[in-house]
Structure 1
């Protein structure tokens, strides 16, 4: 192939012109968008060149009388070369007739002498041979063109990167479609690699091309990164390629051929897989759980460091061996543990996750408790192995034992506390009762004395002492109730009770206290509202609710409402005081919980707790609703008959 032909092949318009016209000279016509030889054109050409040979022969005949066929050989040669057998034989026949008629004696006559017959026969024979040689050469040329077209098509459409660079500047002489697409269809042919691909600067590609061109040694690159794509927005790709030197006529390199493949997806996928494997390795090696993997034969294939620490065996010692025989083959009593009873080994054949607790044996022969999870590995519908998570629960057992001991001690302490509260409450009640009686007697005595500044002063002091003693008695009563609830000793004594009458009595009892606090009691009741309840406990509930209303709603009215609501009774106590904050609503019924500061309001935070326990025992409900700054409403709903008779309160 002549130098520069790759340029023709690499340029589709040039190549089409070359092949379409059969080289520098060809007789072709275009039909249905395709080029082909026209018989009429070929035969016409044969006639024309024969006539041309005649005219020239006439001009030079005076000088070539001895060789009248010389120019007609040329006409036959051109006709056979351009048209094949038909035009060649046509030119041969015409030339023989014309030569005989015009140049052979007698001239202007088709008759010939025996010597001229021999001359005509030689002409025809030599012309036929020339035509045959032309036809063979023409067929060989057509085959060569077809081969060249096939090679070009193969190179142009190959799913690989193919390019040819010429000269020391590495001018791009050929670039196939894959290579052109890879480079964003930029202008390549006739430009050096440095001009066409400036983004390769600093990546060592130019230097590799120079070395291959200078040394004649090919270079093989594996997963080499390079900037490709649109020059304005290139991307990094990875490529496997070969720089193959192309030898010139002198045996020295005059170009370099590039042949390669893009492997970006494979490189990125492998790197992602490697990163995932590294992360998985880091996770398994840093995991606190022991991880063990068994194959389909129940043989160990992997153990992480945590599993080695738990079992005492290393992966080298266990790999390829049955896990069951080493860590789970005997019970603590020394009896054999069959594999059929082992839940870990059962996970694989059943394809179901198994988990639980068991006792394993360490390498040193000691036993230890283990919590485990065995998960089968199923690939393409086939069980291929088991993943086991192990956790040594020795410390958990120890912690559990300590917690149980602490719980027992705590329960004992609570029992002792409840007993102390019960005893203390009884003991505190003992002096309080005579003290209340003495104060009542003293008040009655002072009432009989004449009114003097001293008696007035003493009467006021006595009243203050009575209030403080009552407050102390209420606190002692709450403590005693809490103790009874905790120990289950508080019993309900159920009887028919009129809730309206109980409410009237308690309201009358609180009237003096409400008056001192500046509160007006508004009572709204229906007569009667009767149910099977404990009267004393209902009085206690009303006392607690009214005490709270007076304490937190001082100076504001208090509304008490009792309604008959079919199968149940409803009691409502509403004040217009400070209200309850939303964050405190969920805990006001708990023991020792307060919704306000104890600095400004007294009490132990037991009244509402005791109230809820009583209402629960009566199968009722109690709830609170409040808007801060606008007061609070406590609503009690009681069925007329509790679900259980003689209910016991228990906290």
Structure 2
């Protein structure tokens, strides 16, 4: 079958025995030729060699065993044709073996031949012959008879086996005949749908319907085969015509048909079904039959509709996201993880980078971008933030990246990169956003420059050095070159400072100014800006422009060597006065001074003008202070001149009144004299203060140290203020060592004690005043404590300033004098190498502490 040629066998040779192979249980032999084993059971004392020799001509294997061991049980499973029990030596034992074998499940249906001795009891013989399927042979045993009996058993065994095989084959044939039907029923019963056969007529009357129709439609097979229900009645009206047309078209073209349509079930539910069928010729010459399969695809249709809905939604979301990404003011790149293949790049990204990134297929190709390090080295692929986010799975945020665009310009990009993770936390993609912050960085740099320049301009009054540094810092922040020209009192211009990105051109800038180009009457440039007070701006300077404004060939050559293409001159205005002009240069074509640059240049010029104005004001103030000090010195000497004879005259008058001390008029006159002397002392103190101020302004006080007893000075000063203390209601109390000596200026030391005691009496509120001297090693401490109104904490910090005068430390009614006493005291103490401090609380009084070294401080300020 299927092209295999039948095998032609050669006829057997004379005398040759043909063994026919067939479907048997014995290695393929026919039952008539099958090998049948014989089982010889001998007693333990039996010798069965003669029996084996007798059976050998039968050509069948002889199996041997002794009764009731594992070997015998195993040999019974080989289905022997006959059991031979050797009972020739013990007839009773042989009968016992035969009985037990007949009762055994495996040996019950096997013929048994009992071989015994001739002297056999009749009872035993009857008992043996009474066993089923048992025969007996007595000695002497004839070999032919033995072989004949055994051969009969072999033949019976073979015929029985053949019968069993025939029955088995018949059973298998019957099963095989019904197998297709069983398989078909099983398949149809397990299909997720229904199989059918119907007539190709309107209504589609069914000849056969499988059981799957019930769960599909709610009707059983008998409803359709009995034509109580027609299939066409279940088809949705909108689909019926299409179904009929597709079936007829398939019949015409002799092809199978595949349909998808809707059904209405018994419960009114609408379901989608998928049908595959074919037309077959019916019996006789009748109409063709339709055979096919129908299954429920409602879930698939619902899934398709849901999929279409989701796809529509995803597409809408994708379109919305695309629109958002395209409208973002920053570039966005999306790359696949872990390959780095670029999936998306918005238009802003291509504009910022200067090229498309969608061609990038791997992370290694990131190196094709043009990011550079500050030293000019290009980024490697692994250094980009997007590549690091791909490699580590971690966000890379807030990085600033220097990028060289295809036109050679450099931009600063602010980059953020981060992974997009799936449900398991693994990166699926990485997204990077970046924006151009070059204007912001430029503004920051310029603001930092303005801040630094402002601090520099107010840090010192040496305006020439300061403005030189400012001009240097303006390059290249504001331009390729910068110059500052000042207007001299005689109306000429002087180039104070100049700087350029190319140091070789700085001397050229000074040389141009020296050769006379810098003039107040110049038609353009710094001179025009100073003269008119307006900004001078010149763009796209050509060689013709240089020729027109150059007075001679030497200057023209210098201007050409400078190679500047535009300039901006801003006048320096302050308080209605023009001090000069600040000029910026550019040396590349196409450069423009935007509004921000002009505003910064104007602000820098304003600050430079203020610095110049402040310097002028400072010098004028210094001259005024010098004139004031000279006036104070002269006036003080002139004022002190009449005070000395006046004081002598008052002393003489006091002596003249002594003879009339008891007279009332003399006592009143003496009081008037005392008042006059106090006013003279006060005037002397004020004049000395003015003199000290002038001395301090000119460089400090001159000390004349000598051996002085602080206790003695303290007692003298207290005697002077005894009457003042009595009038104020305060008691002066002296504590500490009576004699404390050191190397000090006596007059200056008296001045310190005087100022401290006068303040204590004035602000002591009529309470006791404590004065204490302390000696501690090589230092002396003088403490003056009152219990008066005290000093506010915020006023203590400026108490020793010039004209401090307790002006915010005490109420106005307590103030008096010039406010110079503590300022001069502070300077005197420091000049003698000591220091003074105050401790005070409002309403609790004040404590002034002066510490002085006992030896003269040769390196103290103002010491001589």
TM-score (norm 1): 0.49
The structure that is helix-richer by fraction is 1
The structure having more radius of gyration, on CA atoms, is 2
- The structure whose RCO (Cα within 8 Å, separation 6+) is larger is 1
